[in-house]
Structure 1
Amino acid sequence: AGGIAEMAEMGEHVRKRTDALDAAGNTTAAIGKGFAIGSAALVSLALFGGFLTNATTSKVGTQLSPANTMVVNPMVVAFLLVGAMLPYAFSAFTMKSVGKAALEMVEEIRRQIRNEPGILTGEKEPDYQSCIQISTKSSLKEMIVPGALVILSPIVTGIFFGPVAIAGLLPGALVSGVQMAISYSNT
């Protein structure tokens, strides 16, 4: 609200009121983020507990005993580290995707300005639809790799390394992901 009031060159009394609204909105957003992160962490922890309970009572139960899932097991330690890297890899792929999509958008805007110089003076309307199409197409296309990473990593780990490896991968990703969520929400 404060930015809009400033761009509209409204008076100082309006700016004071919008600053108060901005402060209240920012506080509410921060509290909401905290609740979202906390609830996501608790749900993830409950799902991990469900995995351990289900895995120990099914056919793989002989392989996934409490003794095998201790941190002294090298397989668990190795996949704790792999799991801890997954949120960072996901974030890197996602940020790279956003950069690619933004570059495509910039190239389209430059093309439009080059072809129609009247856009800069306001004589001609830009082609908004092409920018929307680029944004939509890029957002869907570029999220394939991060989405595949999240979905396929536990499946591939389970197929090739077994449930003990998943018992390391999941808590590693959980702890690292919660830490990243807290860090990202405060930047």
Structure 2
Amino acid sequence: MSRRKTVGIVDYGVGNQASVWRALHKLDYRCRVSDDPKKLDETDILFLPGVGAFPTAMEKLHEHDLVEYLQGEAHKGKPFVGLCLGMQLLAEQSHEHGLTAGLGLIPGEVVPFPGGGWHIGWNAIEQLGDDPLFAECDGMAMYFNHSFIFDAPDEYRVYAARTEGSFPVGVRRGNLVGMQFHPEKSQAAGRALLSALVEGLCK
């Protein structure tokens, strides 16, 4: 019988840590919600949730002394998943409310949603490429709520969604994965993806 995985949920004051915890807890993972690197070190995978504005989130990460820690863990190869704003924070920079440097872990920048406005509600995700980590959830509907997107180079894009046009909603660079939607709010499809991410990245 395999050991239960322990998930570290980064708590930096900007995010929906509780709903991410509930979703992962239902999947029978141990979860630690913390801003303490020593406690996060004792986990198998890190999740960085986030809601709100990019500049505020980066400011909070700096206030909690988590920027260098998260960069270091990513560079060491620890599995790391950013959700919604947490995905955008993986980028080099964002144009939301001016120009703000991100964690710089995946090339690209955060720009306004095509055509402006918001992308809210359910939308199907389409796999780009043939990475087996993402195959199970290809075509499933996930819940979105955002007005900016992570414009990453094609080689890092793993999922797209469509409104009038196609735009990236999933990225991967090795051990790092970002999802623009909210799998924790996406019912059975979201739980399937969370399980695939934890099991696939923690091999």
What's the TM-score once normalised by structure 1's chain length?
0.27
Q: Which has the larger radius of gyration?
A: 1
What's the TM-score once normalised by structure 2's chain length?
0.25
Q: Which has the higher helix share?
A: 1
Q: Answer 1 or 2: higher relative contact order, Cα 8 Å, separation at least 6.
A: 1
